[in-house]
Structure formats: structure tokens, C-alpha cells
Amino acid sequence: MPKMAAVAAAPSTSIAPINRPPSSSKAPLPISTLSLPLSLNHKKTRSLHISNSLSKPTSSTATTSSPTTEKPSFPRFAPDEPRKGADILVEALEREGVTDVFAYPGEASVEIHQALTRSNKIRNVLPRHEQGGVFAAEGYARASGLPGVCITTSGPGATNLVSGLADALLDSVPIVAITGQVPRRMIGTDAFQETPIVEVTRSITKHNYLVLDVDDIPRIVREAFFLATSGRPGPVLIDVPKDTQQQVAVPNWDVPMKLPGYLSRLPKNPNEMHLEQIVRLISESRKPVLYVGGGCLNSSEELKRFVELTGIPVASTLMGLGAFPVGDELSLQMLGMHGTVYANYAVDKSDMLLAFGVRFDDRVTGKLEAFASRAKIVHIDIDPAEIGKNKQPHVSVCGDVKLALQGINKILESRGARGKMDFRAWREELNEQKVKYPLSFKTFGEAIPPQYAIQVLDELTDGNAIISTGVGQHQMWAAQFYKYKRPRQWLTSGGFGAMGFGLPAAIGAAVANPDAIVVDIDGDGSFIMNVQELATIRVENLPVKIMLLNNQHLGMVVQCEDRFFKANRAHTYLGNPSNESEIFPNMLKFAEACGIPAARVTRKDDLRAAVQKMLKTPGPYLLDVIVPHQEHVLPMIPSGGAFKDVITEGDGRRKY
């Protein structure tokens, strides 16, 4: 059996049942009589399933309703009636509560798509590229807490999932990816569109399967969803050969899962003695700080109660934004490379670091030996591989953060802790840092500061929108200047940093939350990588708003060039070198081609009205906001640096 994956991410924690709302309707399709050419006396072959990672943690809580229009009912199979493997697969998805999939057809998956047309429960949102499909499934999962599902054909269709699977593993996102495969007899013969996708994805999935027997489909699908959502969440891949899809069988839905090793490794309930020790250490500290990550997204209420009882200030990772309200007086906002000065100051000066649902990522810690060097460290995480991996804790609890916080809160409440822990002097010290080093930006003439554009969006949506992003400067500004109030508002590719994530992730979020305001804050470099998904948005009539911060450059790399390479431009200009005065490409034309209303704004004084129009226009809308490329994301701790190396001034308008 293969080894477990070494890559890890900001974990989620609590285990929730997969309860999905009904999905929106699709038009009924005529169904012809099924011909079942294969014999029921198919040769029984042993199913091969390939594991590649230890437990990772359940997904989540914030379920939201999908469209509620009833789908027409198609004639389905009697319980003892034989049916194709593809129909068994689709029914297995239905039994897991799946209502929406993101599936792009091909020869090796055509049977699955035919079976989907016979489902009266599952809606397919057709992406225009398989990478768009897997990122949309991620957006669905991140915004709802439910596992996202994507389906592709074999070969290039399957390999187009690779970036999304790696992204889901690093950010602990529960998705189930289903790929078609060439017929079993052709595996290993270099057949047309054959790729050993199980081997390709071995190190970037939590677990994967090659289905060699139709009778194994019910068990494998059940296991896949359990693995994706239990422990530390992650992606699971199911590879289904075409002839397995065509095999005919009567499904047995009562076959038990076969995961004894995995089940035995799932973390147990936290030890009360360890929780008592944590409470004692907190009471002995003078400068405690919370460092919370994506593992706290399912524990928001428990986290807020803990902060209420203790008065300890909260610094969030990029993945943890929204677990604790950013606008709260005890919030220090984001820490790390582009975190606030006061969040990084708090960690640097603290004597107690409470690391909950985090993995001590390099973009947070910088120079490891200098990170929280004065502090005793308490680390709570559901993944045993994370405990002590980068930073050795003084006290560790391997378990569900939600359960650990419930236990700690119970101890604190039983002792009447509220008001007894006095960290006022520490909070006042941090408030001085907030006043001294606020997040800020400069305005130059009529140019639109990108930070200001996000501030305006935050004000006009009252901080309630679901925000997706691509990767780059716009991503960091969206993390800094939008005030997230709750978990699952903030969808971004954190650990993997996959450009092109924002637009398809917004599609998934809009499918999962049809009544929410969904805004993709994107950069021109990231946006164009999956621009084809505008067609999906239009056809599905999804009310996705796109606020494009267009600086005609790969901004984050330009910032690196400005700071460390004497502003020598090495292929980071994305416009037309023969005519630098024009905006190129014209993003409005992409929107026009897909029938999506769009506008461009270039002056700061016109921005607010333009954003208001975007938000008030029914359906999708693209707003092209032209911003200067000289802006830098600040504060900034250079890679491998420490808090003492923080940069708070400057931009591309000066020499370094």
C-alpha cells in the first residue's frame, strides 16, 4: 500500500451529517428504453482501492438552501432490477445526499452522464473546463461545508483535475472526484486517452480508488464520502473504467465499509486532564494570544465563547478568516507574511500561544526559531501529523477543536472564569500597536487604490458577501480590507496558491448559496486563467459579481521585482507591449461574448456608484476596476524573515 501524503493543511474539525437541500430543476429529457448488452453473469474481479493519507477532518456546519424547484420524476429501477454500473454510481451519490455536481463529459464518462439524465435529484452544473469543475466543487464545499463533487472523463479530463485536488488537500477541503477510465482490458496498453490517474494523484489525494468490480460501487462511494468528510477533510478520487460503468448488477446497499485501519486512527475525544492543564497555563500567563486557522471554521461559536470567557485577543491565518469576526474589538485580523503589524507583534511578544486548528505554515511563521520564541505553545489539531511537525508545542491535544473548546469552556464556566482572567494591560498594549500601525494605503490623484475598492465593497455589502479570490496582491488586499463576520464567507486558494481559482469557486458558492451575494474579487492575471467559466455563469444564470482589480501586471511578482530585483521586469507585464496606453485584453469583451453586463471604472470618484450598480444589477456582472501597478501589499515580512524584518512603507514608485 502507498505511503500517506506528506502534505498537510489548515484542518477543519467537527463531524457533521451530510444533509443537503434540494437542488434547482433542470428540464426533463426524453428517456429511451435502456438496452443492457452485458451479461449478468459478469466475471467477478477484486476491487483495488489505494490509500494515500492518514485522517483529515470533517467538513462542516453552515448548510444553506439550494434552489427548491421540484425536479420531474423519471422512471427508476425496482429494488431487485438489474441496472448499469453508471446508474448504481449515480444512485450511490443520491444516497449520500448529493444534489449538485460539476461534470464535464467525455467518451470514458458518457455512461455516467447518461445516468445523470435519469436522476431526478442531481443537477449538473456544466463547467467549460475540468479545472473549472474541480475549483467549483471546492467553492461549493468551502461555502457550504458539504462535500463537493466533480466528474470528468479519462486522460486529459482527469489530469485537468490535478491542481484542484492538490489545492483541496492543502486546504483540507472535502471533495469527491469521479473520473472515467478506459475499459479494464485496455488499462496499461497506452489506449486512447488513458492516464493512470490513481498513480498521478496518489500524493495529492487523501485516498483514491480504481473500481474493478461493479458490485463494489456502493461501498466505495460510501467510503469516499466518509473519508472526505471525517477526521481532517480532503479530496478522494474514484476512477471508474468504462466497462465497469456498463456492467449490469443488482446493487447491495448494505455492504459495510472496510476501513478498519483508518477508523482506528481517528482521534478520540480530548483528555480532560490535558484540557485542565491548558486552563492552568492560560491562568498563569500575562500575554496570551490565540492563533486560529481553518480548523476552527466548524468551531466558531465555541471559539467566540472561549474569547468571551477569557478576553484573549485573536489572530487568524488566511484560512481562518471568519472563524472569529474580523470587526470584533479582540480581533487582531490576519497574522503572517502580509498580516497586520499588531497581530505579528502580539505573537512575537506573547508568553502563551494558543494554536488552534493550524499547521504553523511558513507564510505564517517566517523564520521558525524566531516565531513566538518567548511563548509556551499549546497546539490543538485533528491531524497527528501536524503536532510538532514544524514547531514543538509544550502541550498538545490531537483531536477535534470543537470538542476541545467545548471541554475547555465547560471547565472555565464551572470555575466562574469570566472576569477573573485580567489581560487588560496586554490588550491596551496591543491597542497602542493598532493605533500606531493601522492597515492603510495612499491615494495618488484620480487613480483607484485597490484597497479602497475592497473597502467600498465591504461597506456596500455590510460585510455579508461571500468573497472568492484568485491568487496574488488582490487576494491579500481582500484578506486585509474586507471585514468577514462568519465562517465560510472567505474562499481562497491558501496553501497551494492556484491562480484561476476565484471565478469557478464563486460558481460553486453561488450554487450552494443561491440567495447570497457572491463576489469574485479577482486580478487580471488570475481571472483570465479560467475566463471560459463566464459561459457557465451565464447559462446557469448565477448571480456572481466579478470585481476585477486590473493592473495589467502579475502584481505580486512585480512587487518582488521592485523590492529585490531593482524593478527589472521579467515577463510580468500582461498588456500589449506595442500599445501600453490601452487596456489589454479588453475584459469587457469577454463578458459581452457571454452576454454578461459589464462596465469599466478608472476614477476614484466614480468607484462607489459603479460598485453600487454592480450589486444592484440582477444576475451576473463584471466590473473592471483599473488600478495602478505600483501598489505593494503591506505590511510584509520577507520570506524566511522574522517580525523584526517587517516592511511597512514604500511601493513601486520608488527605488530599492
CA trace torsion 327, 332, 336, 340 (10° rounding): 80
Number of Cβ within 10 Å of residue 308's Cβ equals: 12
Instruction: Characterize 521-549 residue by residue with b for buried, 16 or more Cβ atoms within 10 angstroms of its Cβ, and e for exposed.
Output: bbbbbbbbbbbbbbbbbbebebbbbbbbb
Question: How far apart, in whole angstroms, are the C-alpha atoms of residue 72 and residue 279?
Answer: 56
From start to end of 524-577, where are the E strands?
544-550
85 is written with which cell numbers?
454500473
Measure CA 569 to chain center: 32
Angle at the Cα of 94 from the Cα atoms of 92 and 95, rounded to 5 degrees = 65
From start to end of 507-558, where are the E strands?
518-523, 544-550
Return the amino acid letter for 108.
A
Partners of 395 in the beta sheet? 378
In the 8-state DSSP scheme, what is residue 235? E
Question: How far apart, in whole angstroms, are the C-alpha atoms of residue 94 and residue 97?
Answer: 5
Nearest alpha-carbon partner for 320 in 199, 87, 142: 142
Catalytic residues: 130, 192-193, 242, 556
Q: Is 402 exposed, middle or buried (0-12, 13-18, 19+ CB in 10 A)?
A: buried
284 is written with which cell numbers?
498563569
Residue that has been written with the C-alpha cell 498513480 in this structure = 199
Q: Is 30 exposed, middle or buried (0-12, 13-18, 19+ CB in 10 A)?
A: exposed
Return the amino acid letter for 520.
D
From start to end of 329-430, where are the E strands?
331-334, 352-356, 376-381, 395-398
Nearest alpha-carbon partner for 276 in 397, 386, 194: 397
Give every CB contact of residue 196 below 8 A, 6+ residues apart in sequence: 187
